[in-house]
Structure 1
Amino acid sequence: TDASIYNSDWTPSLGTSMTSSFSLFSCQGCMLRGWVDLSSDKPHTVKKSIKYLEQGMQDTKDVLGLMGKVVCFHLLQHVFSGAGPPGCCPTILALPLSMLNSHGSSSSSRILEKDESNIDACQILAVHELAREGNITTAAEHVRNLINALETREPQNPSLHLKKILVVSRLCGRHQVILRLVCSFIERTFRATSSYAHVATELGYLFILRDQVKEASLWYSEAMKLSKSGMAMTGITWCQILEGHLEEAEHQLEFLKEVQQSLGKSEVLVFLQALLASRKHKGEQEVTALLKEAAELHFSSMRALPLGSEYLERLDPLFLVCIAKEYLLFCPKQPRSPGQIVSPLLKQVTAILNPVVKVAPALIDPLYVMAQVKYLSGELENAQSTLQRCLELDPTSVDAHLLVSQIYLTQGNFAMCSHCLELGISHNFQVRDHPLYHFIKARALNKSGDYPEAIKALKMIINVPTLKMEENKKFRGPSVQPSERVSILLELVDALRMNGELHEATKIMQDAINEFSGTPEEIRITIANVDLVLSKGNVDLALSMLRNITPKQPYYMEAKEKMASIYLQTHKDIRLYIGCYRELCEHLPGPQTSLLLGDAFMNIQEPEKALEVYDEAYRKNPHDASLVSRIGQAYVKTHQYTKAINYYEAAQKISGQDFLCCDLAELFLKLKKFSKAEKVLKQALDHDFVKDIPSMMNDVKCLLLLAKVYKSHKKEDVMETLNKAMDLQSRILKRVPLEQPEMIPSQKQLAASICIHFGEYYLAEKEYAKAVRSYKDALSYSPTDNKVVLELAHLYLLQGHLDLCEQHCDILLQTEKNHEMASVMMADLMFRKQKYEAAINLYHQVLEKAPDNFPVLNKLIDLLRRSGKLEDAPAFFELAKKMSSRVPLEPGFNYCRGIYCWHIGQPNEALKFLNKARKDNTWGQSATYCMVQICLNPDNEIVGGEAFESLVPESNSLERKESERHGVRTAEKLLREFYPQSASGQTQLRLLQSLCLLATREKANVEAALGTFIDMAQAEKDSVPALLAMAQAYSLLKQVPKARTQLKRLAKAPWALAEADDLEKSWLLLADIYCQGGKFDLASELLRRCVQYNKSCCKAYEYMGFIMEREQSYKDAATNYELAWKYSHHANPAIGFKLAFNYLKDKRFVEAIEVCHSVLREHPNYPKIREEILKKAQGSLRP
């Protein structure tokens, strides 16, 4: 029975009173007999104990009997569904020992509420945290509590100390904090009872885990002094191997083998034989055979153990990790390509690690090695899921960050590869010290075409020393394995070759050949050398080098594939190309080479022959999923859809493989045969209730595909199908933490995708609140999914929740600085909030990457105008033109050019460019609107304003009227060719037609236009364009009070980007009215508002100059006219005249002369400026 039973205050009452009835004594006797049988090591005796226990519990719920049944079921590996009385600690304690996975933590917490120093409860909490949760801070606290409980309750019991702490030491991995706690505790135990050799042996093993081999050797030596045990001698041998003393270790192993012949084989001893053979470069077959034997011996010793502390102790996860890592030395170094067979060694490693990952999913070392296995097996997504779990447990794991980056590199996602490397550095600066970091970074740069930077990164690590096998633990600095060094050298050669540095590449390649001649890496270097030889044009030499590689040598398959590529691409010889793959099938027969031959036939457009090869391979391997998919895909690629359908249906009947249902349904969906797709999927889902996770996962896949079918077929059934998928996925998520914890990330991702499907459905139905809730649910499953965050931001923008939208855009830009969609959305937000500088920077970043993004360019031009930096716009036009010679013909490009010309005072150029966009579906309506506005008001005058009327010369006024009439005729012609399709477009057409009437300034036309404007304002309350047009009409009709009433309404309206130009015009017209009435303070307030929202508003500066001039403040007037002249881009001679006049008044004669010359260059006959300003200024300069 458990130690805590005897340590607690509870004890069984054995015949406490002689007056007890005989029946009671008999019951207790039966229960005690049951307990005696439980202590037997014979299974049949243990089974009999249940009979005595049940007899003893007749008509009662005696605690002793209940506990006995719990222990009995525990030993028989059953699960006891009952629970003892709530106040009984021992019964509660027995339960979590047998059900550590689900109830251990909560039950132990209940025990500690009653007995805070209960040893077993403390142990269970520590074990649960280490094995299942992985929170090292919490685990360390539980370990401290366990040590305190042991030292308090059992200070003189070293045997119990070791028994209770061993399971912790086996599960703590390489977490130094817990290792230090455990080592310190065991050292104290040893000092208290220094004759206990087993304690010293355990300390030696713990120091090996801490990579402190010298200390480990000292403790094993100490154990040897106390007892000449095989364990101590084995530990010393292990230390000798790790320190590189291979000869001494070999002699010691021979002696140990002789000693242990009579005792039976030890898994540790066999492992050390394998370790020694590996360090002495023995063959793969010899080493892997020993590793296999070690693993079998290890698992055979724990076969009869139920799940509990002893099982976890004997499992010894880190020992199994050591075996797995030795296996990996002989596994392929690159991920398996599609169609290739998984290495049998990788399958063996999986079999070794699976028991560990299932019972202790929070141990990072087994998880990481399992991720490596999945990566090398070509299961990249599964590897990513496992690594995500590793990083959840330890965000600072250097190895995990580097492997994630390698996966993205393999997938060709160079941006994410670089992002993961930087993310690793942010969590742990030691990532940068790892040679593999620089190698991955260099490969990403090389593959993305940045050869100079790749070369620079590779040269940084080329001098890092190569780590020899026997120096494995002795060398402490940055180092690389021989295979890694070859990879670095070959990558450098490739980068130099691609960068045109052939001479340097040849030199590095020759160095590599010399360095690795006679090693297993020699053939790999030879194959890489072929690319260098080909780059020099020496095809015959390249083929000769490849022919020398025989089928018995490594990399023979790669050599043949390289030869085939040369024959096809260089010689254009299809016969020799296929011949290479036929030779492969002949020398290395199997599914993998058959697939390669079939793929070769597909490459040369001979699908019939490819299908023959695939079919032959399929007949030999009818359960090979990759072959089945390949054949179906071959039919689809050759557009033989009927044959593909027939094949899938026949293959499904023969093999019974469920995944074919989804392939067939997807094919039907592609062919828009929705009813047939629905039928296939419903048949796949028509089965009894399933409980196993793979079947449940397949059902979820079918349901999601069925929902996709219903979107195009039966929209009313989409929600019901998605709900079924979500219910099933929720059941899966409840089970995977206990059964397959490495699948947690991928299954959470799938749950998130189901939520996204919900969100897309609600978004299409314009149920924004429900869509937001669905996307939030998706984020709860996958908090780092940028696509979901972007969709949420978009939804908030649609709902007008700008702060929430900005918050989500910030999240995206923090994780991915150059996220284009987030940058555009954030710029839109900044635009709406009048944060122009920030918005410009964001648009700038987007356009640097995509200069032909014309919607963004259009927004940028408006932003530059409002921030007073319109002179920066031409650089972006030039950037766009560099993209393609066709860019100047693009409607979007011409629209942007037209808008720019309009803003810089070049109306004729603006019309020319806008006319090129007028017929386009995307840009046409906006282009027409702008063209009409330009025709009606080319100089952007204030329609209805009269403050400057007296300053316009009569001759100039007549000329302007003729120009206005011509503009109206042109605008009317444009509107006759304008056919908007939308309701908003029709409203815009009606407004523009009335503005044409307004522009004639004829009373009847103005009154007719006014009637239309009133109707529009009544139809759409607070319509800014309609109210502005009403005010302009009233002003032209000299009904100033009515005009002022409408303008005051607009002065109270909130600023919005879509109405910004019309609001600005209304403020300027109201300021004009105030100026006429001498209310300069009210006018100035409105003008400052104009400048606040548009720093390029030259009319606002002109009015402020006018006010200052009226107040005879010529210096301030000149300052404002300077800004008006600047932002009119020196195109308005009237402003130039006013500026020169105020310079003259301010006695700034030189500046006055310069402005006069500038006006006269463009307008030689401009009235009064020569006589009234230029000559006077020149006269004032003469002595």
Structure 2
Amino acid sequence: DSDELSALQVRTKQYLLLARIREKAGQLNASLQTLKEARENQLKVQHRLLLDQTAAGLPGEQHKMLARICVLMAEQSQAIRDNEQMIQHYREALKYTPNDTGVLAALARIYMQLNRMDECQATCVQIVQLDPNNEVALVMMADLSFRRMDFENAAYHFSQLLLYQPTYWTALARLIEVLRRSGTLVEAATFLQRAEEEATRSDGEAGLSYCKGLCEWYRGNPNSALRLFNYCRRNEEWGQQAIYNMIEICLNPDGDLPTEGSVIDIGADDLEIKDSRAMALRTAERLLNELKPRPGVLDNEALNHRLLENFLLVASRHKHNVEQALQNFTAIASQDEYIGAIYGVAVTHVILKQGQRAKNQLKRVAKNAWTFEEAEYLEKCWLLLADLYNQAGKYELATDLLKRVLQHNKSCMKAYELCGIAFEKEQNYRAAALYYDSAWRYCGKAKPNVGYKLAFNYMKNKRYADAIDICQQVLKLHPEYPSIRKDILEKCRNNLKIRK
């Protein structure tokens, strides 16, 4: 009998080895089936142990083996994107090892990715009861507040984590995102400074560079952000996301809408701007080739990769490439209502001068509920639709959409700018100036065209001194910006002289 039990235990190990070989060969379904056989065999081991308490092999150890098999099955289910099976296998693992915080954390993470927030919260509470200082659970609880748009609570949770561990990079990156959306990004400086003081050269530089890059990007400093992201792009933990961010910046460094021209009146040579643009697109292409989506990742990296490939085609502005991207985006959007693909379809229509078709696409998502996963593309859809409404003179529809954007992202420079445009068109120069002032602050006072609009509306309000101040700020960074000097600065100075 003892020999028979030993043979069963050996067979479990053989099944596990075979499952691993099949997984390495890319035979994921076959590997999962082999793991199921391993589980059935291990249940026989369990049954034998219950019958014979004197037999070799402690029941506790065999429970751990069963739990391990269930976790492997869950991971394989993740690789083949069978979410319900994955949850079922994690739950089964917890029958055998109910206090395993690692398994509980994996289950909570899946619940979060599937937007099952209440189940995620309950699982996190369970983890914290077992381990009050469990960082993974505490971060997820803060994330839950974030996803529920409770930015104040989320910021509190993340900042508390960072008080005890200033170099907890995941929490710091999340905090920066929360502060950006609540319009208080300036508060990130204190946390970054403490992290820099605590960071060690060996394990801190990549995480610190990523967080600094994120901050610079959100402050409107794309070149500085690129340098910082580039510094950590080879890092195993932060490299993948850093490269995604770098591609986004190369494709659209100024966060312009597709309706806007890429050349601004700053006295620069058109050819020079075109060369710089071509170089940025070549860099984006090289980074895309470097970026390999990891199989079995729930964040859908493969989809993001396909979207970015097509946004690269769009960014070239060549008609053939844009038409090809339109076909590809339409194919992706037809499989599922991916917000990114719908935005892609709308952008291509705008560039192909098919504004009404673009509007029809964007109206599909105009009333969508805000979700963390779709936040960036949804925001872009709302901004583009608001811009098209502005162009059509539908200012009320535009401002309604823009208020929704600002509800979820109080640092959105483009939303403030478009609100300013709507009020300016209605000749409400006071309200326009308020919105342009916010746009000017949130772009880090780096966009001369926004400074121009703010100064112009101050002038229309007869706030000549304020208009002159903004003109001087713009000219300090862009001394050869001719129109602001002629259109606003000189007129305001003359008006002040007349008043005196």
Shorter-chain TM-score range: 0.7 to 0.9
Computing the radius of gyration from Cα coordinates, the structure with the larger value is: 1
Distance 2:141 2:11 in 1: 33
Taking the aligned partners of 1:995 and 1:909, their CA distance within structure 2 comes to 23
Q: CA deviation at 1:751?
A: 9.5
**How far apart are 1:818 and its partner, in Å?**
4.0
Q: 1:764 aligns with which of 72, 81, 88?
A: 72
1:531 is aligned to none
The answer to whether the Cα contact below 8 Å between 2:220 and 2:442 also exists between their aligned partners in 1 is no
1:975 aligns with 2:288: yes
Q: Deviations over 1:1008-1030 (max 9, x none)?
A: 22222223333x32122222111
Find the counterpart in structure 2 of residue 1008 from structure 1: 324
Task: State the one-letter code of the partner of 1:1047.
Answer: L
Please name the residue that 1:775 is paired with: 94
Tell me if 1:717 matches 2:41: yes
Closer, same or farther: CA 918–1102 of 1 in aligned 2, 3 Å? same
- The residue type equivalent to 1:1073 in the other structure is L
Which residue of the partner structure matches residue 399 of structure 2? 1084
Q: Is the 8 A contact 2:5 2:48 kept in 1?
A: no
Deviation at 1:954, TM superposition (A): 9.1
Q: How does 1:453-852 map to 2 (within 5 A)?
A: 682=5, 712=16, 714-722=38-46, 760-766=68-74, 767=85, 768-769=87-88, 771-772=90-91, 775=94, 793-794=108-109, 796-797=111-112, 800-810=115-125, 813=128, 818-852=133-167
- Displacement of 1:1180 after TM fit? 3.9
SS of the aligned residue for 1:1058 comes to coil
Instruction: Tell me the CA shift for residue 1035 of structure 1.
Output: 0.4
State the SS of the aligned residue for 1:1038.
coil
In the alignment, what sits opposite 2:344?
1029
Residue 854 of structure 1: how far off its partner (Å): 2.4
Letter aligned with residue 41 of structure 2: D
Deviations 1:506-549 (A, max 9, x none): xxxxxxxxxxxxxxxxxxxxxxxxxxxxxxxxxxxxxxxxxxxx
Which residue, out of 982, 990, 998, partners 2:314? 998
Report the CA distance shift for 1:981/1:774 in structure 2 as closer, same or farther (over 3 A).
Answer: closer
Structure 1 contact 710–718 (Cα < 8 Å) conserved:
no
- Name the CA distance, whole Å, in 1 between partners of 2:94 and 2:365: 39
Q: Is the 8 Å Cα contact of residues 70 and 92 (structure 2) preserved in structure 1?
A: no
1:942 to 1:792, Cα distance in 2 relative to 1, 3 A: closer
Corresponding residue number in structure 2 for 1:879: 194
Matched to 1:1056, the amino acid is: T
The answer on whether the counterparts of 1:818 and 1:845 sit within 8 Å (CA) in structure 2 is no
* Deviation of 1:776 (Å): 6.8
2:261 equivalent to 1:942: no
Q: Does 1:1174 align with 2:489?
A: yes
> In the alignment, what sits opposite 1:1120?
435
TM-score, normalised by the number of residues in structure 2: 0.80
Whether the aligned pair in 1 keeps the contact of 2:263 and 2:273 (CA below 8 Å) is: no
Aligned to 1:1145: 460
Q: How does 1:219-258 map to 2 (within 5 A)?
A: none
Percent of paired sites with the same residue: 38
1:838-872 Cα distance to aligned partner (Å, 9 max, x none)? 12222222233333332332222222211112222
Superposed CA RMSD in Å reads 3.7
Q: Does the 8 Å contact 2:169/2:207 carry over to 1?
A: yes
For 1:900 and 1:1078, the matched residues in 2 are separated by: 35
Question: 2:30: which partner in 1?
Answer: none
Retained in 2: the 8 A contact 1:880–1:887?
no
CA–CA separation in structure 1 for the residues paired with 2:310 and 2:263 = 29
Pick closer, same or farther for the CA change 1:1030–1:791 going to 2, 3 Å.
Answer: closer
Q: Structure 1 residues 1008, 758: closer, same or farther in 2, change over 3 A?
A: same
In the alignment, structure 1 residue 964 sits paired with structure 2 residue 283: no
- 3-state SS, counterpart of residue 189 of structure 2: helix
Q: Structure 2: how far apart are the matches of 1:1104 and 1:913? A: 32
Contact 1:994 1:1009 in 2 (8 A): yes
Alpha-carbon distance, 1:1090 to partner: 0.9
**What's the offset of the Cα at 1:982?**
3.6
- Tell me the alpha carbon deviations over residues 118-158 of structure 1, each in whole angstroms, 9 at most, x when there is no partner: xxxxxxxxxxxxxxxxxxxxxxxxxxxxxxxxxxxxxxxxx
Q: Tell me if the contact between 1:707 and 1:721 (Cα under 8 Å) persists in the aligned partners.
A: no
Question: Structure 1 counterpart of 2:256, which letter?
Answer: E
Deviation at 1:753, TM superposition (A): 9.2
CA apart distance, 1:835: 1.8
> Take 1:710 and 1:817, find their aligned partners in 2: how far apart are those partners?
38
Cα distance in 1 for residues equivalent to 2:161 and 2:284? 36
| Residue-by-residue CA offset, 1:692-719 (whole Å, 9 max, x unaligned) | xxxxxxxxxxx9x999968856554223
1:1102 aligned onto 2:417: yes
**After superposition, where does 1:248-397 map in structure 2 within 5 Å?**
none
Match of 1:561 in 2: none
* Among 152, 162, 175, the residue aligned to 1:860: 175
Given that 2:419 and 2:435 are in contact with CA atoms closer than 8 Å, whether structure 1 keeps it comes out as: yes
Is this contact kept in 2: 1:881–1:888, CA < 8 A? no
Alpha-carbon distance in 1 for matches of 2:352, 2:46: 64
Alignment check: 8 A CA contact 1:888 1:894 kept:
no
Secondary structure class of the residue paired with 1:1078: coil
Q: Report Cα offsets for 1:293-344 as digits up to 9, x if no partner.
A: xxxxxxxxxxxxxxxxxxxxxxxxxxxxxxxxxxxxxxxxxxxxxxxxxxxx
Task: Specify whether residues 722 and 879 from structure 1 end up closer, same or farther in structure 2 by C-alpha distance, changes over 3 A only.
Answer: farther
| Structure 1 stretch displaced more, 841-850 or 1037-1046 | 841-850
Q: Quick check: 2:475–2:481 contact (8 Å CA) kept in 1?
A: yes
Q: Which amino acid aligns with 2:467?
A: A
Q: 1:1176 to 1:831 in 2, by over 3 A?
A: same
Task: Measure, in 2, the Cα distance between the counterparts of 1:822 and 1:752.
Answer: 26
Q: Which residue of 2 aligns with 1:1066?
A: 381
Q: Supply the AA of the counterpart residue of 1:920.
A: N
> Structure 2 unaligned runs (5+)?
18-37, 75-84
Q: Which has the higher contact order (CA 8 A, sep 6+)?
A: 2
Deviation, structure 1 residue 1000: 2.2
Residue segments in structure 1 that go unaligned for 5+ positions in a row: 1-677, 687-702, 730-749
Q: Check conservation: 2:5, 2:45, Cα contact below 8 A.
A: no
Aligned residue for 1:929? 244
The aligned residue for residue 211 of structure 2 is 896
So what's the TM-score if we normalise by structure 1? 0.36
Offset of residue 1139 of structure 1: 1.2
Deviations 1:182-240 (A, max 9, x none): xxxxxxxxxxxxxxxxxxxxxxxxxxxxxxxxxxxxxxxxxxxxxxxxxxxxxxxxxxx
From the superposition, tell whether residues 849 and 994 of structure 1 become closer, same or farther in structure 2 (CA, over 3 Å): same
Aligned to 1:229: none
The answer to whether the 8 A contact 1:1114-1:1142 is kept is yes
Read off the aligned partner of 1:1084 and give its amino acid letter.
T
Q: Which amino acid aligns with 2:326?
A: L
- Contact kept in structure 1, 2:266 and 2:482, CA below 8 Å: no
Contact 1:1130 1:1136 in 2 (8 A): yes
User: Which amino acid in 2 is paired with 1:762?
Assistant: C
Q: Aligned letter for 1:971?
A: A
CA apart distance, 1:1096: 0.7
1:22-421 matched pairs, under 5 angstroms: none
